[in-house]
């Protein structure tokens, strides 16, 4: 055994290597991305690996690989499981031969997400096992068990780490790496894999018949366990179970839930041995609802009677407050923190030299009183620049724009979407908008990378996940194939050209697409691109503030003059904005 200090996602990736994984796919989404990033960085790989164009595509790939008898890992974040829900629900009927693990990373408190949904609800809905780790070590260990469970029951298994597991570090006991040695071979069985109604009715019955054995097996493997220590009991799941164990008083029984579905008979026996029970879990009352069903009159404290929150991320202090409120903890060891006064607000902001800022500036200049639907990506920060009015989910900017355009709204509609997001789920919306005659402008913010989740490549980048060169998708050709007649590609750093193209689009009717292209500044820095820095000539600067209002963090204002700090990436957009020509390339005057 080897012991290493690892990020949770690194520990999960290593557990996949220990499990002899054969097939790895997924779509990048925080907090899950580092698992595939770690696996693709391995110098020698005995497994196939890809970044898929979206989560539905990824799961269908993994499912097909497992039908051929190999072990497959499919990663995504919780909202990505929405995209993959269609194959998820039916794959529970078809089952698998090789093991399949879906890692769906949840994000309580929505650190980097549009909602706080609970993946356990999907597992309940699909009737497949779900493993819910409470520590980095347990996350590692559960992956190995997940593949075994998947093969034992012929079902895919959902693995649900949260942000606090994925992005925390801890000492992890590691096992030996096992090279994947399985060779895929598909055995035809239409009654198993062709889900016409006659087959589906039989398969559904078989799925239901598996449930009792699954529940008992999860207890036998020790994922769900308890210790009776008194007349009061706390039941906790996931990361909350670790916090409870740190605070658990003497004489209070404890049950740890690490896997679903729950064995109701086993659970009920435990609950009914106590005078009152507290349930602590993040997000949905998944455990609590089952506890209440089997309680038999035992008082249950939790979310449903106001003792625990439905939303947000738990912490040791938050758990202590819940335990104290419900009468399970006499003294809260955490002193309420006193907020530090007068600290400046530091909201997230687009990088200095980000291509999106210039594109947003030009959009606002040309379409002054427009509606601006946007999408999921770095560019959502255009909210601070007043050019983002809606954001729902991946690809929704184009469909929302189409809906607004057809609603009777008389103002211009200009939506923004990134290249990776466009390829993820934007193309269908564009086809729909063209097909149904929407009058709108689409700006594809093309930085040729999936930037927000850690700079993973996509079909527009020209590289696969493993760094192999591949033909890049032509966004121009895709848009024209969807029926768009006005498609223009422009350099986001060329404000004059950007404004001119937007003005031309404004004159036309129908769907217009502008591809605003420039390399992500972080990618450019990593690639060694040097553009030179800019500076402000203090003698020429009038202090008008035009450049400061542009919102670039490299531009400051002091002593009634603008100045440029070391964050400057040399994009030169501010030099184009300055009405008096006071911003010049460093070394020139």
Q: How far apart are CA 280 and CA 242, in angstroms?
A: 11
Q: Which residue, chain included where needed, has tokens 């493997």?
A: 221
The CATH number that domain 534-585 falls under is: 3.30.70.20
Contact, 217 vs 211, CB < 8 A? no
- Strand, coil or helix: what is 372? coil
Ordered mean pLDDT values, 10 residues apiece, the chain (589 residues): 94 97 97 97 92 97 97 97 97 97 96 94 97 97 97 98 96 92 92 95 97 97 97 97 96 97 97 98 97 97 97 95 94 76 80 95 96 95 92 96 96 97 97 98 96 93 94 97 98 97 97 97 91 93 94 92 94 95 84
Beta strand segments in 144-217, E: 157-159, 169-174
pLDDT reported for residue 337: 65
Q: How far apart are CA 80 and CA 284, in angstroms?
A: 18
Q: Do domains 355-526 and 534-585 have the same CATH topology?
A: no
Q: Find out if CATH 3.40.50.2000 is the number for domain 2-220.
A: no
Question: Domain segments of the chain: what residues?
Answer: 2-220, 225-325, 355-526, 534-585
Q: Which CATH number fits domain 225-325: 3.40.50.920, 2.40.110.10, 3.40.50.2300, 2.60.40.10?
A: 3.40.50.920
Q: How far apart are CA 113 and CA 79, in angstroms?
A: 8
Closest CA to 178 of 150, 148, 201, 204: 148
What is 40-61 written as a DSSP string?
HT-SS-SSEEEE-SSHHHHHHH
Contact, 555 vs 574, CB < 8 A? yes
Which tokens in the block code for residue 504?
Answer: 């031309």
In terms of Cβ atoms closer than 10 Å to its own Cβ (0-12, 13-18, 19+), residue 285 is middle
C-alpha 57: how far from its chain's center?
16
Global pTM value: 0.92
Which tokens in the block code for residue 351?
Answer: 């990088």
Q: How far apart are CA 231 and CA 251, in angstroms?
A: 8
pLDDT reported for residue 588: 67
pLDDT reported for residue 220: 97
Q: Find out if CATH 3.40.50.150 is the number for domain 355-526.
A: no
């Amino acid at each position: 055994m080897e012991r290493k200090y690892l990020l949770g996602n690194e520990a999960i990736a290593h557990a996949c290597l220990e499990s002899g994984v054969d097939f790895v796919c997924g779509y990048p989404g925080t907090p899950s991305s580092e698992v595939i990033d770690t696996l693709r960085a391995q110098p020698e790989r005995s497994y196939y690996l890809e970044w898929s164009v979206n989560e539905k595509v990824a799961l269908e790939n993994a499912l097909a690989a497992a039908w051929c008898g190999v072990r497959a890992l499919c990663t995504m974040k919780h909202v990505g499981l929405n995209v993959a829900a269609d194959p998820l629900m039916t794959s529970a009927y078809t089952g698998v031969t090789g093991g399949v693990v879906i890692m769906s990373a949840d994000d309580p408190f929505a650190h980097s997400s549009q909602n706080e949904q609970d993946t356990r609800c999907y597992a309940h809905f699909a009737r497949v096992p779900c493993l819910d780790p409470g520590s980095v070590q347990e996350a590692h260990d559960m992956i190995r068990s997940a593949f075994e469970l998947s093969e034992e029951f012929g079902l895919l298994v959902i693995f649900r780490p949260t942000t606090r597991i994925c992005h925390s570090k801890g000492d992890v006991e590691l096992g030996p790496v096992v090279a994947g040695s399985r060779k895929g071979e598909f055995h035809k069985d239409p009654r198993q894999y062709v889900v016409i109604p006659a087959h589906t009715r039989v398969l559904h019955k078989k799925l239901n018949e598996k449930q009792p054995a699954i529940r008992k097996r999860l207890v036998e493997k020790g994922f769900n366990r308890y210790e009776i220590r008194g007349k009061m009991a706390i039941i906790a799941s996931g990361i909350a179970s670790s916090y409870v164990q740190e605070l658990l008083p003497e004489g209070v029984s404890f049950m740890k839930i690490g896997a679903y579905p729950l064995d109701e008979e086993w659970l009920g026996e435990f609950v009914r041995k106590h005078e009152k029970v507290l349930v602590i879990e993040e997000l949905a009352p998944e455990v609590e609802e089952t506890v209440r069903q089997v309680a038999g009159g035992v008082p249950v404290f939790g979310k449903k009677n106001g003792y625990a929150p439905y939303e947000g991320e738990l912490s040791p202090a938050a758990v202590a407050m819940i335990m104290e409120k419900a009468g399970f903890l006499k003294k809260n060891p955490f002193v309420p923190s006193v907020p530090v006064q007068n600290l400046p607000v530091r909201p997230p902001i687009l990088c200095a030299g980000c291509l999106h800022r210039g594109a947003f500036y030009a959009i606002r200049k040309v379409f002054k009183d427009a509606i601006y639907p946007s999408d999921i990506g770095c560019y959502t920060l255009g909210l601070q620049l007043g050019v983002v009015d809606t954001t729902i989910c991946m690809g929704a900017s184009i469909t929302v724009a189409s809906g607004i355009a057809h609603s009777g709204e008389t103002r211009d509609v200009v939506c923004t979407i990134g290249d990776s997001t466009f390829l993820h789920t934007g193309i269908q919306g564009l086809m729909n908008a063209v097909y149904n005659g929407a009058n709108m402008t689409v700006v594809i913010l093309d930085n040729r990378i999936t930037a927000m989740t850690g700079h993973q490549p996509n079909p527009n980048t020209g590289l696969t996940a493993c760094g192999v060169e591949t033909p890049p998708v032509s966004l121009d050709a895709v848009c024209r194939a969807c029926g768009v007649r006005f498609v223009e590609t422009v350099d986001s750093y060329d404000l004059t050209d950007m404004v001119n193209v937007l003005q031309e689009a404004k004159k036309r009717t129908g769907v217009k697409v502008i591809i605003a292209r420039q390399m992500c500044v972080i990618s450019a820095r990593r690639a060694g691109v040097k553009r030179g820095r800019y500076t402000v000539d203090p003698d020429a600067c009038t202090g008008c503030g035009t450049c400061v209002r542009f919102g670039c963090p490299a531009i400051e204002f002091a002593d009634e003059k603008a100045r440029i700090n070391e964050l400057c990436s040399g994009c030169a957009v501010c030099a184009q904005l300055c009405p008096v020509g006071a911003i010049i390339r460093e070394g020139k005057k």
